[in-house]
Chains A and B, each alone.
Chain A
Amino acid sequence: MSTHIASCAEAETRLQSYVDRVLTPAEVAQIEEHLLLCPPCARCYQLERDIRAQLKRVCDEPCPESLKVRLRNLCAECDCADAD
């Protein structure tokens, strides 16, 4: 149980990987310990998550139905099919 995160700069380099959940369990424990003890880093983490959540929310726009109909027709009409 050697390594603690020594500085906010070190936390900063790991934050993206933490958000993307690609850290090892040991690394997760280290950054979570730092976030618990360091309000500015915790705020940055929250900001990262807020931006991402909001990005997803505003971009959650389904394909227009009219376009879906055109795509279906385009698939059915393509006679390039089945050229085995």
Chain B
Amino acid sequence: MSALLDAPWYARSVVDGRTSERVAFEEDVLALADDVWRVARRLGRDVTEAEDLVQETYARAIRAWHSYESGTNLRAWLLRILHNLAIDQARKRQRSPEPEPLEEGDYYLYNRLEASGADAIDRLIDQLSQGPLLAALGALPVIFKEVVVLVDLGDFSYQEAADVLEVPIGTVMSRLHRGRRALKKALADGSVPA
């Protein structure tokens, strides 16, 4: 206490050895914890894995905080760290490349449901609860899942998602559309008798 009061003027912006700039950075990244958590929760296989991903993301962010350019998109910067961790993890876990979702028309789900009777659609809407939907999302290959999570859950623009994933916008769009199709296929497979 008194040490702080006695401190010379130029040291007053330092808290526990951290500059006010650094403290402000910490506050800004901590304020994004819910956003980071929502993405990590979908990329990790369970709560423990999601927690590890978030902690490692923050540990890396703090170590690299000088490389963050003030005024640029902090959420995209932070999620890029998470993305790199998740991709590394997926690579280690799986030696062979993940199977890509089948190409099916966007109306695939609708047509399947139509074929199996009118109330199948209403039934699906009712069933779009936690279990089947999260299982379908969880089963997507990670590169498709990421885009769906960023755009459909995080309301990221194509450009912001492209910044996180470090791919062109066209790649974001094609992965997004294919990811959504795969999601609909998984829902149809799960809720409609084949």
Q: Real complex partners, A and B?
A: yes
Listed in ascending order, the chain A residues whose CB lies under 8 Å from chain B are 8, 12-13, 15-16, 20, 22, 40, 43-44, 47-48, 50-52, 54-56, 58-64, 67-68, 70-72, 74-76, 78-84
Q: Are B110 and A47 in contact (CB under 8 A)?
A: yes
- The 8 Å CB contact of A75, one of B30, B133, B151, B187, is B30
**A71:B33 contact, CB within 8 angstroms:** yes
CA distance A76 to B16 in the complex (A): 8
Residues of B within 8 A of A (CB): 16-19, 22, 26, 29-30, 33-34, 36-38, 41-42, 51, 54-55, 58-59, 62-63, 65-66, 105-107, 109-110, 114, 121, 125, 128-130, 133-134, 137, 148-149, 151-153, 158, 176-177, 180, 183-184, 187
CB neighbours of A80 from chain B (8 A): 62-63
Closest CB in chain B relative to A77 CB, distance in Å = 9
User: Is B17 within 8 A of A82, CB to CB?
Assistant: yes
Question: In the complex, are the beta carbons of A58 and B134 less than 8 A apart?
Answer: yes
Q: CB-CB < 8 A to A72: which residues of B? A: 26, 30
Using A12-B107, A40-B110, A55-B133 as known contacts, say yes or no to A62 and B34 having CB atoms under 8 A apart: yes
Q: Could you say which of A13, A59, A62, A78 contacts B42, with CB atoms under 8 Å apart?
A: A59
Smallest CB-CB separation from B169: which chain A residue?
Answer: A22
Question: Which listed residue, A8, A54, A63, touches B133 by the CB 8 Å rule?
Answer: A54
Contact assessment for A71 and B158 in the assembled complex, using a CB-CB cutoff below 8 Å: no
A52:B54 contact, CB within 8 angstroms:
no
Q: What's the minimum C-beta distance from B72 to chain A, rounded to whole angstroms?
A: 19
**A81 lies within 8 A of B17 (CB):** yes
A83-B66 contact, Cβ under 8 Å, with A44-B106, A51-B183:
yes
Question: B18 to chain A: which residues have CB within 8 Å?
Answer: 76, 81-82
Q: Is the CB of A63 within 8 A of B66?
A: no
Q: How far is the CA of A82 from the CA of B189 in the complex (A)?
A: 54
Q: Find chain A residues with CB under 8 A from B22 CB.
A: 81-82
Whether B26 lies near A75 (C-beta < 8 A) is: yes
Contact A55–B137 (Cβ < 8 Å): yes
CA distance A48 to B171 in the complex (A): 21
User: Please, which residue of chain B has its CB at the minimum distance from the CB of A13?
Assistant: B106
Which of A15, A56, A67, A79 meets B106, CB within 8 Å?
A15
Contact (Cβ within 8 A) A47 B152: no
Cα-based distance from A71 to B55 in the complex (angstroms): 6
